[in-house]
Every structure is written in C-alpha cells, then in structure tokens.
Structure 1
Amino acid sequence: MKALMALLRRDLGALLPGSSRGNSLLPLLFFLAVSMLYPFAVGPEPELLAATGGGVIWVAALLAAILPLDRLLAPDVESGFFDQWALRGIAEEVVVAVRLLAHWLSFGPFIIAAAFPASALVGIDGPTLHVVLLGLLAGTPGLAAIGIIIAAVTVGLKGGGAALSGLLMVPLAVPLLIFGAGSLSTGGESGLALTAAISLVLVAIAPFAGGAAIRAAREG
C-alpha cells in the first residue's frame, strides 16, 4: 500500500502543474477557450446557445482530455520506469491503474470546476448546468480510461504517435458523448446512468488493456 501511495504521489507530481511533464492548466485553458469562442461562431441568440451549450461543453471536455496523451506513458516506458516496478514485483496493470487515477485527478476536477464559468459563456441555465456537472463527473473517468488505453497502445510509435492517439480517442469516446450530451434532452437520469455505466466499464478494463499493451511494447 505504501508503494502504491508513493507511486500515486509521484504520478500526480509528474502530471500536475509545476513539473516538466505536467501542465493541467493547458486542458483547462483550452476548455475555456472553446466555450468562449463558441458564442462568436454561432451568434449571440440566447435560445440557440442554451440549446447547444451543454453539448459544446462535452465536446470541449473531450478535446481537452486529448491534450496530455503524449506524455501519459511514453516517457516512463522509454526511461525504464515500468521495468523497475516489474523488478519490485508490481505488475504493469497496477501501475497503469494508479496512473489512470492520477490522470483523472490531473484534469477531471479542473474541467468540472471550469464548467461553471463555461456555462455562463455558452448561456445555459442552472438546471442544465446541474445535469452537465453530473454528466462530467460520471463521464470524465471514462475519458481518462480511454486516454490511458490509447496512450498504452501507441506508446511504441514514434513521430506521429501523439496525433494518432488523438484520432483514435475521438471515435472511442463517441458513446460517452452521445449519452452524456443526450442526457440534457432526456431529463438526465437515463443518459447519466448509461454514461456512468460506460465509464465504469472503461475504468475496469483500462488497467488490463494498458498493462498488456505496455508489456507488448517493452518486449517488442
């Protein structure tokens, strides 16, 4: 347990602002920038903004989650970090699970907090904001899990690996976007439940898929 807590502290230190790899402000600023520019793109009509603003927040959250993919796992695989933990008897799945938690903590709470000013920028009301916040709380762990899986699968790629990661993540995140944004038009409960279910499944399989992909990359 102490080793896992030390690993979590290490991962948070690497991903949060203030380190050479961490820049949680970048996804946050990107998220706010999309929310700020959207009214200029579609016009200032309150009805249109209120009807589409929640969906825009979800798309902005997805795009913001793509930004850190290139630094989630590749630097540690290249430096032999996973080899060191394997020598200590810690499986890749355990390390990936801790990295998943650290990844979500490095962007999920920031995006949820940023939804408050973003809602004002896109003109959505209080009840809609409540559904958006619940949806992001349920869906951002799934986005983090997809990011970890894609980062592990593409960890051995050079050059365009980061761009490929983003392209792969977009279609895989479509179900979360459909049910998360769809909950805004269905009253919330069914869409939120499906979003949480998909997110839970993704979080459950991410450590195993990520661990297998990292072992394949190391052995290859």
Structure 2
Amino acid sequence: MALAWQGVRALARREWCSSWRQPAEWLTPLAFVIGVALMFPLGLGPEPARLRELAPGLLWIAALLASLLPLPRLFAADLADGSLEQWWLAPLPRPLAVALKLAVHWGWTGLPLVLLAPLLALAFGVDDAAPLALSLLLGTPVLTLLGGLGAALVLHARAGAGLLALLLLPLQVPVLVFGTAAAQGGNNAPVALLLLGAWLAVLLALAPWGIAATLSLMLD
C-alpha cells in the first residue's frame, strides 16, 4: 500500500511538472477558445440577443475542437522517452496510472475553461454564466476520457491527428448536444446535466481500464 501511494504521488508530481514545463500543450487550447470567443461577436455583428442565443453552442464547439489539439501527444511523448514502459513497472495498477495522467491533463486543459466561463460568457453578453460553467465542469472530463481512449488507439498511427479526429468526433457529438442544452439553461438543462453526469460516471468507471488495455497492446 505504501509503495502504491508513493507511486501515485511520484506519477502525479511528474505529470504536473511535465505539463508546467510545456506550456504550449495547455496554452494553445486555451488561446483557441479565447480567440473564438473574441472573434465570433465580431463576425456575427453587434446584436446582443443573437449573440446570447448562439453563445452556448459556439463556446461548446470551441471547447470540443480545442480538446482535440493536445491529444496527439498525450501518450506519444511518454512512449518516446520511455516513461510509458516505466508506468507498467511501477507498483500501482495501470488503470490508476492512466486515470492520474488524464486527471492532470484535464487540470491543465479543461479546468481553465471552466474557470474562464464567466469571461467567455461576457464576450457574448450572457449575464448568467453558471449554466455554461456547470456544463463545462461535467462535459470537459468526458471529452478528456474519450480523448485518452482515442489517443491510445492511434498511438502508432502516422496520420494520428486526422485519424484521431475521425474517431472521436462521432463520439463527442452527444457531449456537444447535451452540453449545449445544459449551457442554455431552461427546462431541459437539468435533464442534460443528468445525462452528462451519467456519461461521466460510466467513463470514469470504464475508460481507464480500456485505455490501459489498449496501451498494453500497443506496447507489445
């Protein structure tokens, strides 16, 4: 138990420090979403009612596309420097190692979007950013878990980025639909949030095991 806990702390510290030393990996998605939030009002025109109506869908599309940007290197860098093999030798379950890496990845890429939701909503003239923030809080971890599975599947593919998008976009469309419905508020928002939460719970239970099994096949 003590060795496993030491392994958890060491892996979490390594992943956090590694992400900190590579700011482009998490600043690029963030800059993409901010750029979209600033450019769309300029392109759509200064009509407050129209901007407020389109804001949830546009911001969720930006968040979904931004989540794809760092995925090609999610496991590729660890494979290149031998870290991936070291995970398998560490005294902790492989699904737990995968879950830790994805948690740190979400902390650098998804959590900033949740925290910036009030400012992003303000760019579209939305007064109440709580529905948007709550939908992102439940939806961005789903995107991270699906992205981790896709990144593992295309780990050795040459056209990894394009193939990754083709694999993930059909799976992410329901997240986009329910996330947008939740961000819009209204009567349908509680149902959409429940569906996002249910999907998140299922993926939290299954995705780390599936990703670990896929990575094991890729390393053999």
Taking structure 1 as the reference length, the TM-score comes to 0.90
Residues 88, 112 of structure 1: alpha-carbon distance in 2 compared, 3 angstrom cutoff: closer
* Offset at residue 57 of structure 1 (A): 1.2
2:9 pairs with 1:8: no
2:182 pairs with 1:178: no
Residue 163 of structure 2 aligns with which residue?
Answer: 164
Residues 21, 117 of structure 1: alpha-carbon distance in 2 compared, 3 angstrom cutoff: closer
- For structure 2, list consecutive stretches of 5 or more residues without a partner in the other structure: none
Residue 31 of structure 2 aligns with which residue?
Answer: 29
* Offset at residue 13 of structure 1 (A): 1.6
Identity %: 34
2:84 pairs with 1:82: yes
**Match of 2:127, as an amino acid?**
D
Residue pair 2:7, 2:92 contacting (<8 A) in 1 also: no
Residue 209 of structure 1 aligns with which residue?
Answer: 210
Larger displacement relative to structure 2 (27-36 or 87-96):
87-96
Residue pair 2:131, 2:185 contacting (<8 A) in 1 also: no
**Match of 1:214, as an amino acid?**
L
- Give, in whole Å, the separation in 2 of the partners of 1:124 and 1:58: 14
- What are the within-5 Å matches in structure 2 for residues 1-220 of structure 1? 1-16=5-20, 19-20=21-22, 23-126=25-128, 129-158=129-158, 160-183=159-182, 184=184, 186-187=186-187, 188-219=189-220
Larger displacement relative to structure 2 (142-151 or 107-116):
107-116
The size of the alignment, in residue pairs, is 214
Q: What is the CA deviation profile of residues 82-139 of structure 1, one whole-angstrom value per residue up to 9, with x for unaligned ones? A: 222323344432221111111111112211122222111112121xx11111111111
- For structure 1, list consecutive stretches of 5 or more residues without a partner in the other structure: none
Secondary structure (helix, strand or coil) at the match of 1:124 reads: coil
* Offset at residue 148 of structure 1 (A): 0.7
Q: What is the CA deviation profile of residues 37-74 of structure 1, one whole-angstrom value per residue up to 9, with x for unaligned ones? A: 11122222111111110111111111111111011101
* Offset at residue 2 of structure 1 (A): 1.7
Secondary structure (helix, strand or coil) at the match of 1:150 reads: helix
Residue pair 2:7, 2:91 contacting (<8 A) in 1 also: no
Residue pair 1:39, 1:122 contacting (<8 A) in 2 also: yes
CA RMSD of aligned residues (A): 1.7
Larger displacement relative to structure 2 (181-190 or 67-76):
181-190
